[in-house]
Structure 1
């Protein structure tokens, strides 16, 4: 079996496992539930709720689903056993990142479809700006998830660390309480977190403006520096 064939089969298997994972369903349902329940506040000019739910969805994938899966694979010795097969451990890591990103895109697409078709929400005026912000925001959050997976001794520990990080980050980002109702200093601090920079950049895009270059830089810095730290500390067994 060639490495390419083995990787293709691995992708098929991992896709089936991800679909069956209950956490995958929650990454769709929780943001969608928030969107629908509070959808009565969405009007043609609303620029708040949809960016918030997109940021929530990405946060759930990055801080809960991905690090738990990777840390569990290492805990069970799957990564170590893969080193003796044509599929190297790095192939599993790559497949997982691709599938988790695809899950994030699908979740975002569902939110946009429901908000636009059923709730009449405003869509971003500049798709390219939205794509840039979405990519940088997802990369920065995935970097945090990779660092959790690198340091956590087990899947359960990764889950717990992800939850402990998610809620303070979500608060500072204005996802638990609207940023307009938070003290200005707290909002400013939140903008220097990856989730806060992501949420604010999405809000800027939704209002028809250009994303703040400083916040784009914040997300890019997290994506690069934290990914390097994750690679430095990641253990295959």
Structure 2
């Protein structure tokens, strides 16, 4: 087994024991079950919202908290003196956080499709493309939080404080058509808002708005570059 494979195995075990991982999986599922029981079968709105909510929690809560905590404890600095470079740790964490997001979303789709009778699109590729692009945008924001936060507690607090306004603007707490026009327009230019709308479009069998795709791409590229610029290993 290679060094990176051993690192992945260890980090996977730690991730499964992390309470935050359970939180990011169970909270969206709980909301889906509570509100989905009153939604008509075949609904095409609630499930895309829950998928965006789940990815947002992983990207803005779990990911930055983990990385900032590792830096605070000196783990990244100590890795620089071993065959496992800090960059390998970062790559492993990104992969595992993606797996966590996929697990949360797969559970949501399974429960919604089988228990609640929600609509599940048959076209997989458009959904997968939007999902990966939206996840990249949300992870970029999480990486920037991790880069700027002094420690894990700060990253946790900043992520939570930033997540709730973005979730509101994205229409995850109140339907967009019931929001003031100015807030709805602002929400369309947030990573979570663009992600939610693009998921909603492909879920309904429509082509996603190019503006939303451009917004997500911009966040994924520009914010990732900013995170790389400011990221500190110690």
Same fold, TM exceeding 0.5?
yes
Return 5+ residue gaps in structure 2 as ranges. none
Q: In 2, distance between residues paired with 1:192 and 1:63?
A: 17
Determine whether 1:217 maps to 2:214: yes
Question: What is residue 51 of structure 2 aligned with on the other side?
Answer: 54
Query: How big is each residue's C-alpha offset from its partner over 1:75-124, in whole Å with a ceiling of 9 and x where there is no partner?
Result: 11110100110000000000000000011011110000000011110012
The alignment status of 1:230 with 2:227, answered yes or no, reads yes
- Which deviates more, 179-188 or 61-70? 179-188
In structure 1, how many angstroms separate the alpha carbons of the residues matched to 2:122 and 2:10? 38
| Offset at residue 206 of structure 1 (A) | 1.6
Q: d(CA) in 1 for partners of 2:89 and 2:63? A: 12
Q: Return the offset for 1:46.
A: 1.2
**Equivalent residue runs for 1:101-120 within 5 Å:** 101-120=98-117
Count, aligned residues: 234
Q: TM-score, normalised by structure 2?
A: 0.98
Deviation at 1:57, TM superposition (A): 0.4
- 1:76 is aligned, of 73, 78, 102, to 73
How much is the aligned-residue C-alpha RMSD, in angstroms?
1.0
The partner residue of 1:143 within 140, 145, 163 is 140
Answer yes or no: is 1:193 the counterpart of 2:190. Answer: yes
1:16 paired residue among 13, 16, 19: 13
The Cα shift of 1:125 comes to 4.0
Q: Does 1:89 align with 2:79?
A: no
What is the rounded CA distance, in whole Å, between the counterparts of 2:44 and 2:178 in structure 1? 15
Q: 2:120 aligns with which of 123, 126, 148?
A: 123
Q: Does residue 37 of the first structure (1) align with residue 38 of the second (2)?
A: no
String of CA shifts for 1:171-226, please: whole Å, max 9, x gaps: 10011112121122211210100000000111111221111111011101100000
Which 4+ residue blocks in structure 1 deviate beyond 4 angstroms?
Answer: none
Q: Which residue of 1 aligns with 2:149?
A: 152
Q: Does 1:208 align with 2:198?
A: no
- Deviations, residues 36-57 of structure 1 (Å, cap 9, x unaligned): 0011233343111101111110
Contact 1:43–1:122 (8 Å) recurs in 2:
no
